[in-house]
Amino acid sequence: MDKVCNMSNFTIRKADPGDFAATFALVEGLYGDQQEFYEAASPVDADRLRGIWDARLRSKACAVYVLIGHGTPAAPGVGGNAGGGENADAEDADGEIYGLIAGQISKHDSRNPTHGELVGVVTEVCLAPEARGRNLAEGLLKSIEEWFRECGAIYAVADYFVGNAASARFFERSGFSPLSTRVYKNI
């Protein structure tokens, strides 16, 4: 399968609270899918995740960009309806959300070697299963990186679960390199 995507079938825009249902479904699916990568984790607490996601969509220190597919063969009807949020225009009103990327600006990343400079933190990258493997996440990453630069961040960081080879390949292909290893233990 050719991994080059025709972006003319997709648009990327900043999400808003009107996109909550469709984006939350992707995020909830992401955390459900990730259970295999962290054996000690508890099941997803949907109510807690819903509150975090709602706050993220409304925060000025966070940004979420959505990938809207336009019902073409390259973008079969998957994902949730775009919802016609505040930023939606006529072009994506009939489209569906196929993916998203979320990020935040931080000064307090414990792994930040610049000690207090702003850093962009990629918090989620989600694609509907049918949209994976087509290099669609690259456009989302470029959007969040542009927002990071506009906010004054000097570099970006991202975490992914050990064993998630697709995420490892994506971030490596996108120019990220390992900085540290974070380990966890239930206590």
Residues of the chain with pLDDT > 70, as a percent, come to 69
Is residue 38 over pLDDT 70?
A: no
As a CATH number, domain 7-173 is 3.40.630.30
What pLDDT, on the 0 to 100 scale, is given for residue 78?
40
Sketch the domain layout of the chain as residue ranges.
7-173
What pLDDT, on the 0 to 100 scale, is given for residue 105?
93
| Termini Cα distance of the chain | 45
More confident residue, 165 or 182: 165
- B/e letters for 63-95, b = 16+ CB within 10 Å, e = fewer, are bbbbbbbbeeebbeeebbebbebeebeeebeeb
| pTM: predicted TM-score of the whole model, two decimal places | 0.76
- Average pLDDT value for the chain: 76
Per-residue model confidence as pLDDT tens digits over 80-135 = 434 444 444 434 455 899 999 999 998 865 655 666 788 999 998 989 988 888 88
Find out whether 80 and 97 touch, Cβ atoms under 8 Å: yes
Is residue 77 over pLDDT 60?
A: no
Per-residue model confidence as pLDDT tens digits over 42-64 = 555 667 777 887 888 888 889 99
Q: What is the mean pLDDT of residues 172-185?
A: 83
Cα gap 118→108, rounded to integer Å: 8
What pLDDT, on the 0 to 100 scale, is given for residue 39?
46
Cα 166 off chain centre by: 14
Per-residue CA distances from 153 to 8, 17, 65 (Å): 30, 24, 17
